[in-house]
Amino acid sequence: MSQTIKIAAVVPAAGVGSRMQVGHPKQYLKIADKTILEHTLNKLGQLPELDSIVVAVSETDEYFKTLPLQDRRIIAVNGGKERADSVLNALNALTSHQPDWVLVHDAARPLVTLQDMRTLITQCMADGEGGLLAARVKDTIKRGETHSLETVPREQLWQALTPQFFPYQALKDALQRALENSVSITDEASAMEWAQHPVKLICGRSDNIKITTPEDYDLACFLISKQESE
């Protein structure tokens, strides 16, 4: 990888995680002796090619500053009301030392592997196109509300994961324009799709789960213990 290419990471971590049903943001739940956010940042910290790691936290967050983070590349900025606002705030904070590419990763996905992140970065940079880690849908998918109306073909269905990796300026512009036009943005790829940029699907491990519910947390505790023992 060329050393002239600058890559930054962005971690949106301003959410409250209401579905976890705990009295503080879910990213500060502990697994073993570390918070979920620490596990996630430690994974990103294994990428020496990252120039900086920008964490977008709530203005009322009293937890982040208490974390014993050693990586000097980590900086905190104020997040926003929605994920897209937080990511855009982080990208704006990078304006004075603008990277070429940006890797956006969920705070609550501590199980991502170094191999998957490296594959994403390598394939996207080789093709000059942004993309995201994704897992092919394995279950039978039904459409409906209270009753099944149809079975949806799953051959072209993917579950979006993170990290998502895009050229910095293109992502910044896409998010800015989408927010100005009140477009519903659920992840960075959706902003890039709306702006008609190519978005590669890079197959990643399906155990790269996002911790959202108590059941997810229990599974993540088991999987992290398994990862660490390996």
CATH number at 180 reads 3.90.550.10
Counting residues of the chain whose pLDDT is more than 70, the rounded percentage is: 95
Across residues 1-6, what is the average pLDDT? 71
Look at 15 and 61; give whichever has higher pLDDT.
Answer: 61
pLDDT of 134 > 70? The answer is: yes
pLDDT of 229 > 60? The answer is: yes
pLDDT of 58 > 50? The answer is: yes
- pLDDT given for residue 159 in this prediction: 97
Are residues 173 and 103 in contact, defined by beta-carbon separation less than 8 angstroms?
no
95 in any annotated domain: yes
Q: Which two tokens stand for residue 137?
A: 């849908």
Rounded-to-integer distance, Cα 194 and Cα 34, Å:
37
144 in any annotated domain: yes
- pLDDT given for residue 23 in this prediction: 66
**Encoded amino acid at 145, one letter:** E
pLDDT of 1 > 50? The answer is: no
Number of separate domains in the chain = 1
2 in any annotated domain: no
- pLDDT given for residue 3 in this prediction: 56
190 in any annotated domain: yes
- pLDDT given for residue 17 in this prediction: 57
Could you report the per-residue pLDDT of 143-184, keeping only the tens digit for each?
Answer: 999 999 999 999 999 999 999 999 999 999 999 999 999 999
87 in any annotated domain: yes
108 in any annotated domain: yes
Q: Which domain holds residue 38?
A: 7-229
CA-based end-to-end distance of the chain: 28
Buried b (16+ CB within 10 A) or exposed e, 197-207: bebbebebeee
Are residues 196 and 174 in contact, defined by beta-carbon separation less than 8 angstroms?
no
Across all residues in the chain, what is the average pLDDT?
Answer: 94
Rounded-to-integer distance, Cα 133 and Cα 205, Å:
8
Rounded-to-integer distance, Cα 8 and Cα 111, Å:
20
- pLDDT given for residue 140 in this prediction: 96
1 in any annotated domain: no
Helix residue ranges, H only, the chain: 36-44, 83-93, 114-127, 168-180, 188-194, 214-229
